[in-house]
Amino acid sequence: MSRSHPSIHPVDLAAAPSTAAPGEENIYPPMRLRMKDIQGMPGTCMSLVLRAFQFLFAAISLSVMASTSDFPSVTAFRYLVAAVSLQTLWSLSLGIVDIYALLVKRCLRNSIIVALFTMGDGITSTLTFAAACASAGITVLISNDFNSCAQNHCTRFETATAMAFMSWFVVSPSFFLNFWSLASR
């Protein structure tokens, strides 16, 4: 990295040269200051908390759906298992990266890393949301329209679908903060 971190080389605005003519007031700031790390961006404590909840909700959804014996008979449920499996692996791997960044006090503001996080969050959140919507539609069809909850695992299907929606809800702030950080460069 060729850029210095503000904690290593602090910016002293009083010692900065003025761009105004002698006797005039300088109305413009002498230097452009970098944006501080906002909680929720990669490498912060809130990012780690968001990744932990993403992992938790996706893992619960995966385990509840996989514990039923008849989920492979419905394509939407298979899609949900695949989507939350990907969400689980993505959240776990980025959680490990966040832990590393916090332990070594490393700033993860590199544009390539932020672009990778943004694309990954966008793809996994879209897949998880689509799978949760499809599973919710099938669950409503089974429980309300067919009235066949007696021979199916409706409660488990509903729980897995709700946890997938919760995982999507928690991944959305990560995506938006990463996207905002990428767009504000």
User: What is the predicted pLDDT for the residue at 107?
Assistant: 81
Confidence of residue 4 (pLDDT cuts 50, 70, 90): very low
pTM comes to 0.77
User: What is the predicted pLDDT for the residue at 7?
Assistant: 52
* Residue 105 and residue 45 in contact, taking contact as beta carbons nearer than 8 Å: no
Range 159-166 average pLDDT: 96
Under DSSP, is residue 85 helix (H, G, I), strand (E, B) or coil?
A: helix
User: What is the predicted pLDDT for the residue at 101?
Assistant: 92
Of 56, 54, 53, 16, nearest to 32 by C-alpha is 16
By CB neighbour count within 10 A (0-12 exposed, 13-18 middle, 19+ buried), where does 3 fall?
Answer: exposed
* Residue 158 and residue 67 in contact, taking contact as beta carbons nearer than 8 Å: no
Range 123-138 average pLDDT: 96
pLDDT digits (tens, 9 = 90+) for 148-162: 887 788 899 999 999
Residue 59 has pLDDT above 90, yes or no: yes
Domain ranges within the chain, ordered by starting residue: 39-183
